[in-house]
Amino acid sequence: MVSEQEPAYKVIFVRHGQSTWNKANRFIGWTDPNLTKTGELEARVAGQVLLAAGYEFDIIYTSLLKRSIKTAWVVMDELGLHHVPVVTDWRLNERCYGALVGRNKKECVRVYGEDQVKLWRRSFDVRPPPISEDSSLWPGNNRKYDFLERALIPRTESLQDTQARSVDCWDNTIVPTIRSGKRVCVCGHENNLRSLLKHLDGVSDDDIRHVELPRAVPLIYHLDENFKPIRLEGAAPHLNGRYIGDAEEIAAIMARDLANVYDLSVESNLEESDVPHYAAKLDDLLQPCELTDDAFGERGGLDELNCRESDIEETPLFIYKSHEDAARARV
């Protein structure tokens, strides 16, 4: 039976926006490419979708990788939550893709076949071949990880390996924070989030093969007092949580991502297509327009105690149709 009763706790998961290596269709893992402009826009739309749905956070957890950290910043920017801590934790890093890191995913399908690449990407316990410790792409050669015990720096990881550290972070860091009454967002990666959701929802080793996460689409979870998910109406397949966004847009994102790796008849790189997909139908949610003092309604224009007009450097990309939302977005 589907329940929409007020849960004991809520938590939101968001995968980062497009990075330069997503755009190039490469395996990324612990490598640290930047967000693209499209990725930043994806993150902005995620923030706006959350704003429109009335979400606020007291803390956001993310990895040590800048595609997720910057996504978290952009989401919080859209929510007007610049003062809220963005806490980084290596345990929320993407799964280490071993020797596949840097390789083009569709090229790997051509060379190794669809079944092998599916095993590497979506199975629970299969590790890709390990990366050499001599490689500049091995995270152990990145001084960012100097603080981490060397034995903990992976040369490759299965989803199961990733789950061990993600769940450790969930149980010992995130759950106590949620229990203390803080409203939490977790901004992460396809596989570290898949591993966490597998744990939370008790998804079987077989079913987890079919769980794919679209980029920058907020996924809401309602939890009971024991931190068990309460199934939501419209829940994503195999999960108990529900995406916030337009169902058709989300389906288009999923179809694009699958075709971009596995459909060998598609020669072009769909990440480079001129028609990006976002979690929202932009026409429904957003309306580009001029920012005027009137947009701030009863707040009587800009608050001179906190902000001079010259401090506003850029016109926002999108302004809400609703003036009330626009005012909240800029608080």
Ligand X SMILES: O=C(O)[C@H](O)COP(=O)(O)O
* The one catalytic residue among 78, 94, 190, 249: 94
The stretches of the chain forming alpha helices (DSSP H) are 20-23, 37-52, 66-78, 105-112, 114-122, 159-169, 175-179, 190-201, 247-262, 282-285, 323-329
Question: Rule CB under 6 A: which of 111-130 touch ligand X?
Answer: 121
Contact segment (CB under 6 A) with ligand X among 77-85, 165-173, 185-193, 226-234 equals: 185-193
Binding of ligand X by 28 (CB under 6 A)? yes
**314 carries an active-site annotation:** no
Residue that is written with structure tokens 């679209």 in the block? 214
Binding of ligand X by 190 (CB under 6 A)? yes
Binding of ligand X by 191 (CB under 6 A)? yes
**271 carries an active-site annotation:** no
φ, ψ of residue 222 to 5 degrees: the values are -105, 130
Nearer to ligand X, 178 or 211 (CB): 211
Contact segment (CB under 6 A) with ligand X among 70-78, 138-146, 188-196, 308-316 equals: 188-196
3-state helix, strand, coil in the chain (%, to 5): 45, 10, 45
* The one catalytic residue among 16, 189, 222, 277: 16
Alpha carbons 218 and 238: distance in angstroms, whole number: 17
Contact segment (CB under 6 A) with ligand X among 22-30, 243-251, 289-297, 313-321 equals: 22-30
Binding-residue total with ligand X (CB under 6 A): 10
Reduce the DSSP state of residue 13 to 3 states and report it.
strand
Q: Which residue is nearest to ligand X (CB)?
A: 28
Q: 3-state SS of 207-255?
A: HHHHCCCCCCCCEEEEECCCCCEECCCCCCCCCCCEECCCHHHHHHHHH
Select from 13, 17, 29, 295 the one that contacts ligand X (CB under 6 A): 29
Nearest to 220 by CA among 237, 207, 211, 232: 232
122 is known to lie in a ligand binding site: yes
Nearer to ligand X, 189 or 277 (CB): 189
Contact segment (CB under 6 A) with ligand X among 27-35, 202-210, 232-240, 243-251 equals: 27-35
Q: Identify the burial level of 62 via C-beta atoms within 10 angstroms of its C-beta, where 0-12 means exposed, 13-18 middle and 19 or more buried.
A: buried
Nearer to ligand X, 66 or 299 (CB): 66
Chain positions contacting ligand X, by CB under 6 A: 27-29, 94, 97, 105, 121, 189-191
Residues annotated as catalytic are: 16, 94
Q: Which residues are known binding-site members?
A: 15-22, 67, 94-97, 105, 121-122
